[in-house]
Structure 1
């Protein structure tokens, strides 16, 4: 499957926003697209899991957890947040795979 010029441009924009200017030198192809889609899916899954993690505070006991329940439920219901830690870790894990795919023509 060959990507259109518009798809290549959009994919490059996404990768540059994640990896910086280095991604401008990568070839945008079907493999790069597939690897990027998998990376973004893993970022979303990580972020959804983070919705259920209590925020830092005092001693994490049942009373603290109880106070955090409302915020945790709100985050879980909205599922609209991408956590920076998820983005950074997943991007680092997928970097080599995406680069390798970009080198295949």
Structure 2
């Protein structure tokens, strides 16, 4: 029974929303992180006024996506609430969209 609970929280998610699936967010964050490691010059084309906020947003969203499965395993707490906020998941998808946009049109 414990294995099924881990499967439903880690892979499927408890809610019906696609944004609440931590494995999907973790895979997206890993893909974006690897892409940024392979192509660090993406942010060089961005003006400095936008570069620092994008870097801070990326650090926050990627960090929250990597912490989310661990926070689900531990349970209730501050880390669980911070990593489970809806805007974190939207920001991750938005940051991934910015990275794709910079790669295609940058």
- With structure 1 as the length reference, what TM-score do the two structures score? 0.30
- Give the structure with higher Rg (CA): 1
